[in-house]
Amino acid sequence: MSTIAFLNIAMHGRVNPTLPIVAELVRRGHSVTYYTSPAFREQIAATGATVCLYPGGEQPLPDPPTPVTLVEGLARTTVRLLPAVLTDLRRVRPDLIVHDNACPWGAVAARELGVPAAASFTTFAFNRHVPSPTRGSWELLAAATARPRSLQGYLRARWGLHRRFDTRGLPPLDLGNIRQPLNLVYTSRAFQPAVEDFDQSYRFVGPSIGARRVDPSFPADRLQGPVLYASLGTVFTAVPQLLRSFATALAPLGGTVVVSTGQTDPAALGPLPANVLARRFVPQPEVLARTALFVTHGGMNSVNEAMYAGVPVLVVPQGADQPMVARRVVELGAGLSIRTQDVAEGSVRALARRLLDEPRFRAAATTLRAAQHEAGGYRRAADEVEQYLSASGPVGRSAPVDPSQRG
């Protein structure tokens, strides 16, 4: 059996899809070492992987998390983490490194060690038709000019990387789109935009959804249909009034309305209708399995899970790649979208009523549900990893691929 190292960014949206794959690889007899931050130690340990913590504790997101600050933050984090990570990887001696598509230290580590690497895309796959947020563009240049400190920090970090490590093949700028000879994309070909323009290195394995620990504190027995569910994820702090608007808008339409408040204290929403259940975190796949409508920020994992359950969605994009996800949902007819500034009790209720009453939305979501399931999920991803390991062997191990050389 092989030794596999996973290197990731400490975000729920990046880590969660990898966990069922890691558990499956461990079940098949592989040794998996996972590099992460303390917040994810327990979740990863539960898969059977060996957990190695990055030096320095938690790895906070740049503030604000714009493409410019993200590129700078990724470069600086790579300079900071690589020495310790490489020292440990030389001890582990992995046969393969699997890293997030926005994890430069994973790509550089693979190059330094001379082992094959695979990229893990929890977003859409990106190319010239599906632009990466960190791609070179006039908008990014203008933003960098307006933030000279970020630009200078990025250039210093890149120079430091160039002097100390083998960075050949690492994108000069687009650090949110690091591709490899194997790219695991956690959605179906049906949901991926411009899918026909991606080569065979991209494996659209579908949502990676495995068994999750049961939350005994969640009162699943209280859910009365139709269940309506609203969540803005865990990254962006939701304004209490926004969450309250969802609750009051949906309450007359549902049996039970579940609101996941994330970083926001549920008490900040004030008194809510009796059929509203507001909690910081909920077991999302379990709730979606019983949901008639999902109001979401449009995070890729959340929308993938909704499509996996065949649930129509109302997308309220908050940032990052969420506007792109919202456009794809609307394009495929599986939901509607509304801007945050347009959210009000009346507007949300009107759109929710359409999604519940017009059969075409449920029909489109059901079609996508079939595609999401047929893609294969975490078992297919594990198969792809094993096949790649077998093909790579001890000779001809590949280095990071320059995105400009692919379509």
Q: Is 351 helix (H, G, I), strand (E, B) or coil?
A: helix
C-alpha span between 374 and 370 (Å, rounded): 6
- Cβ 298 vs Cβ 339: under 8 Å: no
Question: Do 339 and 366 sit in the same domain of this protein?
Answer: yes
124 domain residue, yes or no: yes
Q: Is 99 helix (H, G, I), strand (E, B) or coil?
A: strand
C-alpha span between 395 and 393 (Å, rounded): 6
Structural domain containing residue 390: 3-206+375-405
Question: Do 168 and 72 sit in the same domain of this protein?
Answer: yes
Residue 398: how many other CB atoms lie within 10 Å: 18
Question: Do 392 and 361 sit in the same domain of this protein?
Answer: no
From first to last of the 407 residues of the chain, give the pLDDT tens digit: 899 999 999 988 899 999 999 999 999 999 999 999 999 999 999 999 999 999 987 777 665 678 888 899 999 999 999 999 999 999 999 999 999 999 999 999 999 999 999 999 999 999 999 999 888 887 888 888 888 888 899 999 999 999 999 998 899 999 999 999 999 999 999 999 999 999 999 999 999 998 777 788 899 988 999 999 999 986 556 789 999 999 999 999 999 999 999 889 999 999 999 999 999 999 999 999 999 999 999 999 999 999 999 999 999 998 778 999 999 999 999 999 999 999 999 999 999 999 999 999 999 999 999 999 999 999 999 999 999 999 987 643 444 444 333 33
What is the tally of structural domains in the chain? 2
The CATH number given to whatever domain includes residue 67 is 3.40.50.2000
CA angle 376–379–381, rounded 5-degree value: 80
The structure's pTM equals 0.90
C-alpha span between 178 and 107 (Å, rounded): 8
Question: Do 228 and 283 sit in the same domain of this protein?
Answer: yes
C-alpha span between 205 and 363 (Å, rounded): 22
323 domain residue, yes or no: yes
- Running DSSP on this structure, what letter comes out for residue 290? T
Question: Do 201 and 324 sit in the same domain of this protein?
Answer: no
CA angle 54–59–63, rounded 5-degree value: 165
